[in-house]
Structures are given as C-alpha cells and as structure tokens.
Structure 1
C-alpha cells in the first residue's frame, strides 16, 4: 500500500488532550497584611514629621528683653581680610645671572632644500607645469638632465633656506591642485 504524502491534506489534531485551565489563584493573605502594615507605618511616620512633638505648655510668664544697641551684622559668607603679600623671588631674580650658550648662526643653512614637482620627457609639459606654478606666485625652473634613458626635463623650486618654507609652498601648491611635489636636499 502506497501513500502519497505530497498531495494529501494535513489532518486536524484531535482535541482530546487539552489541559484544564487552572482556577485563578488568590493573592496570599499574609503578603497583603504585611504590605498594609508597612504602608500604615510609613503614613504614621510622615504624620509625626508633619506635626512634630508639641511644645510643653508652661505657666511661667514670658519675659521680653528690651532691644539693645544693634551690633553690626556680620556676613557669614564674607571673606577674611586680604593678607599682606610677601614675595622674595623678585629680589632673588634681580641678583641672578643666566648664561646661555648659543651656536653661531650663519646666513647660509648647512644644507639648503629644493622641491621637485615634476619630471617630463617633453619640454612643453615641463613648461606647462612651470606656468601653473607661476600662477600661484612662485618661481620654478626647468632643468634638462641627460640620463642613460635619454633627456628629462625637471621642474624644480628653490633653493629654500629651511624645510619649513618648502613645506609651506608645497601645501599651497596642493591646495591649487598641483600634487606630487617632493622636497630634497639641494643638488647643484
């Protein structure tokens, strides 16, 4: 006997195994009483704070003091008087001498810098880059270098007395869209 389970309809579950619903449980009476006692105790505590303990009533006559000369009222937040400043470092510094050894500074840097912004096979490309740099207010030179692979035309700026000035110019050229400039020590 062969059954085709693919085309058969699912059978309904039989309803014979249902669990009976449990009757609703009542909250425990002991828990209710404990909560009631705690709430009542808290209420009594708040009531005693509000009313406070009554002051004892005395039959003695109350004596009223005559107002005396008013004393000047002192502010509890007032600052104490400013202390007298006594500084000694001013006299000590007047008598001190400081000696500093500075190296001799020459007008020429020990090693000047140059910035190369391009190297081209065609002189027209190098002249075009030189013109773009000139529009930024800087002066560039085109040097022809003969190498083993032929002639190259390098676009060079400098010499710079310090690397900081060369970096400043490089950042200005980068903002103008001229990238790829490299800073090297000056080669004559």
Structure 2
C-alpha cells in the first residue's frame, strides 16, 4: 500500500493574484464641459451688466388738497369727566369671616412604617408633619397630616410646594 501525504492534500490551493485595477483616465471631457459652462455663465452676466437700463415714462404728479382738520371744540362734549373728578365713591368693606382652621392630609396607611416613610419624604421637602392614629369601623389607620392653617390660601401654597417636590396626594379639608 502506497503511503499518502495527508498534509499536502489538506492545504488550500494558492489563489491566483488579482491584477491591480487600472487607473481611470483623467476626465478631460468633464473638465472641459464644466469650464465651458462657467465661461458661458460669466459672459452672460457681463452682457447683462453692459445693457443700459430701460427708462419708464414718469407718471404725472398730481397734487391733492388735504382736508383741513376740524375745529377744536371749546367745551368737552362729555361731562362725566368733570363729574367723576370730584365725586367720592362709598364702598362697603366687609370683614372676611374665617372659615376655620384648615388641615392638609397627605396620606393614610394601615401600617405605621409606611406613614413614617411618607412623613420623612415630606420632611425632606421642608415641611413638618405629624402622624395621627385613628380607629374606625374598618380598622386602624395612620394619617400623615400637615397643619393647622389659618387660611385655605396658606394650605394651597404648601400643597403646591409639595407637588413640585413630587408629593401629589395631599388634600385640604376644614378642621372643625
């Protein structure tokens, strides 16, 4: 049995070398056409510049007489201006009655740990709050409460600041 050379048969055959691509000829035709178009465009602009402007016949100027202004009235046609200058107006100023102290509740939880977490979040926003434990027919609840506020406007201002800090669940109610 003849010996076979398995190493030589496993080698890939050498690929023939590719020829280097031929250099493209310089585009003389494209260059000459572009130069010709540029010269033609320059000649066109020069001829436009050399033409004399066409004069249009001037329209005849007609002077129009302006309407005279009406005479200034000697008296003011409206009398209410003089009447209001010296008149005093009586206005009733009522005292706004306080509708009572207001309170803002931001959350209500079953567990005290959740209420403490909400209270800490409110404290990071810069407000002091308290947790109130309430017992009702449906079990024990822990409320996170801010206040009391003398007016609803103060409570609204604090609620808007809390909203800017990402706490959107606050409700204002009368504490009577």
When normalised by structure 2's length, the TM-score is 0.50
Q: Specify the alignment match of 1:76 in structure 2.
A: 66
Q: Specify the alignment match of 2:148 in structure 1.
A: 159
The alignment of Structure 1 onto Structure 2 pairs a total of residues equal to 113
The structure richer in helix per residue is 2
Query: Given the alignment of the two structures, is residue 101 of structure 1 paired with residue 92 of structure 2, yes or no?
Result: yes
When normalised by structure 1's length, the TM-score is 0.48
Structure 2 CA distance for aligned equivalents of residues 125 and 175 of structure 1? 21
Q: Specify the alignment match of 1:120 in structure 2.
A: 109
Unaligned runs of 5+ in 1: 1-72
Note the C-alpha offset of 1:120. 1.8
SS of equivalent to 1:76: coil
Q: Specify the alignment match of 2:99 in structure 1.
A: 110
Alignment of 1:173-184 (within 5 A): 173-184=162-173
SS of equivalent to 2:118: helix
Instruction: Give CA deviations for 1:42-95 in whole Å, capped at 9, x if unaligned.
Output: xxxxxxxxxxxxxxxxxxxxxxxxxxxxxxx99727866765673643431243
Unaligned runs of 5+ in 2: 1-62
Note the C-alpha offset of 1:173. 1.9
Kindly report the root-mean-square deviation, in angstroms, between the aligned alpha carbons of the 2 structures: 3.0
